[in-house]
Homo-oligomer: A and B are copies of this chain.
């Protein structure tokens, strides 16, 4: 991580106000630099699930096939990825895909039921089940994702960042073990506590699969990688450390070796920010329950921070959203190492004008579109 910010003196963002900021940063440079804690002219902004359910033009495309078919269709996935950029001009486009794409490529059946969530089968409950998973060649089995990334680059050009992603090992494992979403992760925790060797083997196989999968995304044009640990935050820090430290370090280390910034997003992981920072990502995503000041005090400047406006706040009026966006910017302050985002995924019922209010407010504060 470059520590140029330590020499930066600006007490507010804006062109020319922070040392070490190149002139005329592109959105792509802004995103990559901010996620690496390098000085920028102001925080970049993107929104988790910005390519998705709250946009009417998304639903039009989704009518053409199932969710997984849409993920596997490079034209549709690229179109959905570009939709929010055309409307709002976020600094980064996050590729439309799903964290269960690798699970499918490893031999699981994956489908989505409207209003219910993913179905993953047959659920893994034993060592023999785990041993039935297989490795895959990412170009061969998931080349559609590389194609989609290349199409997004062709449409958006060189000046916009593209974010690739994967699910974290625990999250991927929990879907495989539970057979879908879960409230209490009963089977997952039963395996974790009761058959730790099987659980460890499963995590290792998942990491083995994810490393080349992320590599393929970067080769195809991803500038930043995000690792989504949707459910890791349901574990105690002690359990996370005992169970996930080794596979997470291996995954993050391999992702960083691709020479792109790596963002780690652990939903509800506010109780273990120190541990998450120790895993070595360039940036960690914090939710709305974490005070940015407190997060910075706990992790220092060894990682950038992404976040953290409450997605539910976007259900209020656009004026309220602008006010809350400004308050969030104030809480993070002018230091480098902030990527503006929500503290979780944008909710399906979010009014389009409230997403617009977020993006415009961040752009207005930094003085550049």
Contacts and interface: CB of A to CB of B under 8 A. Distances in A.
Contacts of A184: 311-312, 347
Interface size class of A (residues with CB under 8 A): 20 to 34
Interface stretch (A3-11, A74-82, A234-242, A249-257): A234-242
Contacts of A289: 233-237, 271-272
Given A289-B271, A310-B236, A316 B194 contact: yes
Copies of this chain, tallied across the complex: 2
A246 to B, nearest CB: 20
A357 to B, nearest CB: 13
B236 A316 contact: no
Nearest to A182: B312
By DSSP majority rule, is chain A's interface helix, strand, loop, or mixed?
A: helix
Interface in A161-220: 184-187, 189-190, 193-194
B193 A324 contact: yes
Interface string A300-311: 000000000011
A290 B312 contact: no
B313 A193 contact: yes
Interface string A304-338: 00000011110111001000100000000000000
Contacts of A311: 184
A288 B193 contact: no
A261 interface: no
A49 to B, nearest CB: 12
A194 B320 contact: yes
Contacts of A272: 289
Contacts of A237: 289, 291
A233 to B, nearest CB: 8
Nearest to A183: B347
Given A235-B289, A236-B288, 5 more contacts: A184-B311, A187-B315, A189-B313, A194-B316, A237-B291
The 4 closest A-B pairs by CB, nearest first: A189-B312, A193-B316, A194-B316, A190-B315
